[in-house]
A and B are shown apart, each in its own frame.
Chain A
Amino acid sequence: MSGRASPVAHWLRGPVTGTLILAIPLMVVALLALDAGSLTTTRVVTIFFINIVLAVGLQSFIGLSGLVSLGHVAFMAIGAYAAGILVTPMAVKATSIPDAPAFLVETVIGFAPSLLVAAIVAMVIAVIVGPIMVRLSVAAAPIATLSMMIVVSVLLSNSTAITRGDQTFYGIPRNTGILTAATVSILVIFIARCLRDSGIGLSLRSSRKDELSARANGVNVFWVRLVAWVLSAGIMAIGGALYAQQLGAISPKLFLYDITFLVLSMVVLGGRSIAGAVVGVALVSIVVEILRRVETGISIAGHDLNGLANVGLGVIIIATMLLRSDGIMGSREFDEMLGRRKPRE
């Protein structure tokens, strides 16, 4: 009676198994952190889960397409502001952004809808700018996407009536907790795995290996890259929405080089797979947290060690590039490693 599984069920096996393998330890971490109960653990672990969302979002584009984007944080910023403005109570907005359009001041939505709206807004913008970005060569993409990030930052800085410009947008309810961030990160991992294991994902990976061959075999490189670009923009925006509702106050300067370097380093360290992004986030989080605790109050030859965490991060990246240029996980997912099957490329 046990016939073959349906094609959809067969296809879903990879994403579901891969997500479960990551979800179980992630939920254990979340529950342990909740049980520990300290404010510090809560903050560190919540930021860890938000970083997973961001790293998986970035990985969904650069890991599959091979194009390096230095500007994805722009979508994070768009998501943070879209969600931040919409969840903030009307009484706060009436004083903080009194000149904003009435519907923005008067509209207040909940946490889950804010993530959805943030993703939609970013994806619409990604659809508009995507046709330019995904046509670029591997060499041109980093600088073009970086320019996009700067343009978005300047627009946010100058949209004073809506964003408060360079000044802090405050009063955002701090809705993001450990369990919500963990749940969203697992959901995002599943979505990213579905993209990776789909025909579009396979086409993207083949175009990454050899674009000309992929085109010769009928792959519409422009189209598959655009799909990944838009989806990754949506995921980054969800990360931004979580981030805004974790901090409670945001400004455009938060979404520039520091966070770009942090997320990119996590992705580069982990490798080109979704599991690699998660492993990269975990390793960087551990190292940064340990160094952050070590650096305070210690000095060598009269020089304080402030900033040691950033130095450590830089050293890790250099070492990884020297020793494992494909990152720790390469292109592999955990389920592929456990099942001893090679990644479909």
Chain B
Amino acid sequence: MARGTFRNLMLFGASLLYCGVAQPALADGTYKIGFAGSISGFLATCDDPVLKGMQLAADELNKKGGIAGKYKVEISVVDSKSDPAQAQVAGSQLIDGGAQFMIGPCAGDIALATAQLAHDAGIPLISSVNADSFFVNKVGDGAFLIHPGAVAEGKALADYAVKARNLKTAYVVTSKDLVFTQQTSDGFAKEFEGAGGKVLQTDYIKLWQPSQAAIVSKIKAFSPRPDVIMSSQMIPDMPGFIRELRAAGLDTPVLLNDGNDSNLLFSSGADLGDVTVASVALATPGSSFAAFNQLYKDKNGKAPESSFVGAGGDILALINRAVETAGSTDPKAVASALAGIEDFQAVTGKYTYKDKSGVPTRDFLMIVPAKDNKSFAIRNTVKPDGSVN
């Protein structure tokens, strides 16, 4: 027994030595991107499609000579498993392996765990589709989002409500469960009231509930009837919420946060009625995003399961642009170039980072159900300055 246990300890030691084996040095002409997102666990729904988009974009770039036309892209993947301890290990492994740019998980403490390591190592990092407006402040220099932030999204929804729809009173249904659900409703309330509107009531709910009947009953009984319901929740809750609202006879306009710009919103089969979703990416016919999706379909035999695939394409396009501008692969120079990007067309839309410390300014598309009740159409565009087209 003692011998068996001793053998186990020796195995552990061997494993540790294995962990410490130095990675081979990079060949010249290679640009190594470390992906520490979560391809298993609850964050896989956002990180996995981002990775697929990155891999597609990397293949396309490599056909043209690679990043900046001269560095072959190599994406190393270590699953952070939606767990912050594993995210630290994944980040460490990628940094040890020579990553020159890091892609972190999309949310919360798990994203922070990797981002702090990258920050300490002086390597720029994009937190895949993270919408936490204050993420970059929590990490420091070298961290970037590709989403303009949930606060900006809430403001855009308010600008749309007031300027395009002339809606004056609002009932807000939101959740403290996720950073961005609360930040979106906070941003909405502040901008809405600043523009002369009035938030009559704010209710906080728990996400991922089988039914939202209780909150729907409360809204129905509420007096006076609000002009608009602003709801910051996520799929899979949202289709049921809308269905229950309409079934209760409430035809009030509803504003929804980003993340609901998915065809899954139509999954309840009910007529959504007057619903508007804030989005940063809609693949309209003829757009670069639609072309990217077609490329994905040609290669994989099926359409992308999420708009996050396009976000993966955006990430590669932004890195490519930053390395081109920097004229080198030096991490500091690349981070600095990325921070200065202005009016750059990526896959899903245009990006400007200048003067925004890692959080881009982007147009928000206000999208509504198309006549077929199966897809979306753009109704308005809200510019970063709050103007509505």
Contact of B178 among A28, A166, A283, A304 (CB under 8 A): A166
Contact of A306 among B79, B83, B91, B117 (CB under 8 A): B79
Contact with A along B88-106 (1 / 0, CB 8 A): 1101110110000000000
- When the two chains form their complex, are residues B113 and A247 in contact, meaning their CB atoms are under 8 A apart? yes
A334 CB contacts on chain B under 8 angstroms: 2, 5
| Alpha-carbon separation in the docked complex, A162 to B22 (Å) | 43
Q: Does A45 contact B (CB under 8 A)?
A: yes
Interface residues in A13-55 by Cβ distance below 8 A to B read 25, 28-29, 32-33, 36-45, 47
Interface-forming stretch among A122-130, A168-176, A192-200, A201-209? Answer: A168-176
A329 with B12: in contact, given A249-B84, A289-B19, A296-B79 (CB under 8 Å)? no
A250 with B109: in contact, given A43-B92, A167-B182 (CB under 8 Å)? yes
Q: Does A142 contact B (CB under 8 A)?
A: no
Interface size class of A (residues with CB under 8 A): 35 or more
Q: Does B1 contact A (CB under 8 A)?
A: yes
A38 with B19: in contact, given A44-B89, A247-B88, A247-B109 (CB under 8 Å)? yes
Contact with B along A233-276 (1 / 0, CB 8 A): 00000000001001111110010001000000000000000000
A249 CB contacts on chain B under 8 angstroms: 84, 108-109, 112-113, 116, 138
B interface, over-half SS: helix
A246 with B85: in contact, given A40-B96, A168-B112, A338-B2 (CB under 8 Å)? yes
| Alpha-carbon separation in the docked complex, A243 to B88 (Å) | 12
Q: Does B176 contact A (CB under 8 A)?
A: yes
Q: Within the complex, what minimum Cβ distance (angstroms) separates B61 from chain A?
A: 20
Q: Within the complex, what minimum Cβ distance (angstroms) separates A280 from chain B?
A: 10
- When the two chains form their complex, are residues B88 and A41 in contact, meaning their CB atoms are under 8 A apart? no
Q: Does A212 contact B (CB under 8 A)?
A: no
A174 CB contacts on chain B under 8 angstroms: 116
Q: Within the complex, what minimum Cβ distance (angstroms) separates B322 from chain A?
A: 24
B92 CB contacts on chain A under 8 angstroms: 38-40, 42-43
Q: Does A110 contact B (CB under 8 A)?
A: no
Q: Does A82 contact B (CB under 8 A)?
A: no
Contact with A along B164-183 (1 / 0, CB 8 A): 00000000000011110010
Contact with A along B1-40 (1 / 0, CB 8 A): 1101100110111011111101000000000000000011
Q: Does B205 contact A (CB under 8 A)?
A: no
A332 CB contacts on chain B under 8 angstroms: 1
| Alpha-carbon separation in the docked complex, A169 to B109 (Å) | 8
- When the two chains form their complex, are residues A337 and B12 in contact, meaning their CB atoms are under 8 A apart? no
- When the two chains form their complex, are residues B77 and A32 in contact, meaning their CB atoms are under 8 A apart? no
A interface, over-half SS: helix
B interface residues, tally (CB under 8 Å): 47
Contact of A171 among B1, B2, B78, B138 (CB under 8 A): B138
- When the two chains form their complex, are residues B109 and A285 in contact, meaning their CB atoms are under 8 A apart? no
Among residues of B, the one whose C-beta sits closest to the C-beta of A276 is: B5
Q: Does A218 contact B (CB under 8 A)?
A: no
Q: Within the complex, what minimum Cβ distance (angstroms) separates B99 from chain A?
A: 11
B15 CB contacts on chain A under 8 angstroms: 285-286, 289-290
B93 CB contacts on chain A under 8 angstroms: 39-40
| Alpha-carbon separation in the docked complex, A25 to B11 (Å) | 13
Contact with A along B47-60 (1 / 0, CB 8 A): 00000000000000
A47 with B96: in contact, given A39-B117, A249-B109 (CB under 8 Å)? no
- When the two chains form their complex, are residues B17 and A170 in contact, meaning their CB atoms are under 8 A apart? no
- When the two chains form their complex, are residues A258 and B83 in contact, meaning their CB atoms are under 8 A apart? yes
Among residues of B, the one whose C-beta sits closest to the C-beta of A258 is: B83
- When the two chains form their complex, are residues B109 and A251 in contact, meaning their CB atoms are under 8 A apart? yes
Q: Does A279 contact B (CB under 8 A)?
A: yes
A43 CB contacts on chain B under 8 angstroms: 85, 88-89, 92
Interface residues in B114-167 by Cβ distance below 8 A to A read 116-117, 121, 138
A286 CB contacts on chain B under 8 angstroms: 8, 11-12, 15
Among residues of A, the one whose C-beta sits closest to the C-beta of B83 is: A258
- When the two chains form their complex, are residues A297 and B77 in contact, meaning their CB atoms are under 8 A apart? yes
Contact of A44 among B16, B95, B138 (CB under 8 A): B16
- When the two chains form their complex, are residues A40 and B1 in contact, meaning their CB atoms are under 8 A apart? no
Can you name 11 A-B pairs with beta carbons within 8 Å? A33-B20, A39-B121, A40-B19, A41-B19, A45-B16, A166-B177, A167-B179, A171-B138, A247-B88, A307-B81, A334-B2
Chain B interface residues (CB < 8 Å from chain A): 1-2, 4-5, 8-9, 11-13, 15-20, 22, 39-40, 44, 77-79, 81, 83-86, 88-89, 91-93, 95-96, 108-109, 112-113, 116-117, 121, 138, 176-179, 182
Chain A interface residues (CB < 8 Å from chain B): 25, 28-29, 32-33, 36-45, 47, 160, 165-171, 174, 243, 246-251, 254, 258, 279, 282-283, 285-286, 289-290, 292, 295-297, 304, 306-307, 309, 328-329, 332, 334, 337-338
